[in-house]
Amino acid sequence: MSGSRTNDTGRQFHLPAWLPAYLQAAPLTIILGGFLLLPLLMIAIVSFWDYDFARMYPDFVTFNYSETLGSWITWKTYLNTLKFAAIVWAITLFIGFWVAYFLAFHVRSTAMQMVLFLVCTVPFLTSNIIRMISWIPVLGRNGLINTALVNTGITTEPVEWLLYSDFAVVLAMVHLYTLFMVVPIFNTLMRIDKTLVEAAHDAGATTWQVLTNVIVPLAKPGMAIGTIFVVTLVMADFSTVQVMSGGQSASVALMMKNQMSLLQYPAAAANAMVLLVLVLLLVAAILRVVDIRKEL
């Protein structure tokens, strides 16, 4: 909608119809450009620079990408990262759906729903590092679980693979990121019209049929949003892999962290761009399967 102004001579002039919309969008455009697009552009530029043990050199070389994509060790690291993402996603999706389903359909009181939901968020009042490290005295060789197993006679010696293993990494990540799956699924389930469930029961559908044919299809947008959260967080996590695996496992984010500690910033930037493209492809695949626009 165009506006009009009166100048000193008393004549009216009209603002262009497109100007108000552009002015309204300008603050968000500046913020996204300054804090998202500009840093990504800088990383993309640095990924083509040359470097040595002491400094970077502005240049246009492609060996950072050729070393990243041509190394079998790098491919194994990417596959290991995808393995962590897939396992953590499957476990968090299972736990998150049933927790959200219980809160949405089995807790009748809205106040109690909010209380239980807030209880789920209590661990987030502490740091991720503290919550991750808290598993060490539980899973360690002389930890609570091994002590209980040995004292009850279930095992004759401590179980070694509980800590500093892929199992410990997955367990810590599930603990850290399950809530990111619970929240969007719970939000989606709360929007489901309960009369649809009652109508399905009245039509003779069993509880399982109602779950698989009514609730799960309507919950897919929330599952998709939770999947995007969990997968991106897992693929960007390096501290959990480093601490809980005891340095015996690797991920792309940990590899980039090690490269930056060695001042290999262009190589780390190239890995960052490859990882970004991989994550965007995963997100695009999810968006092709599920339309999440109505949830945003």
Rounded average pLDDT over 86-108: 92
User: What is the pLDDT confidence band of residue 119, given thresholds at 50, 70 and 90?
Assistant: confident
Give the model's pLDDT for residue 290. Answer: 84
Provide long-range contacts, Cβ within 8 A and 24+ apart, for 214-217: 215/101, 215/105, 215/189
* Domain annotation for the chain: domains and CATH numbers: 72-295 (1.10.3720.10)
User: What is the pLDDT confidence band of residue 142, given thresholds at 50, 70 and 90?
Assistant: confident
Which range in 14-23, 49-58, 269-278 is most confidently predicted, on average pLDDT?
Answer: 269-278
Q: Helix and strand tally (H, E) in the chain?
A: 16, 4
Which comes out higher in pLDDT, residue 9 or 278?
Answer: 278
pLDDT in tens, 234-293: 999 999 999 999 888 889 999 999 999 888 999 999 999 999 999 999 999 988 888 777
Give residue for tokens 């209980």: 148
Report how far residue 289's alpha carbon sits from residue 296's, in angstroms, rounded to the nearest whole number. 16
Please say if the pLDDT value at position 45 is more than 90.
yes
As a whole number, the mean pLDDT across the chain is: 87
Rounded average pLDDT over 216-231: 92
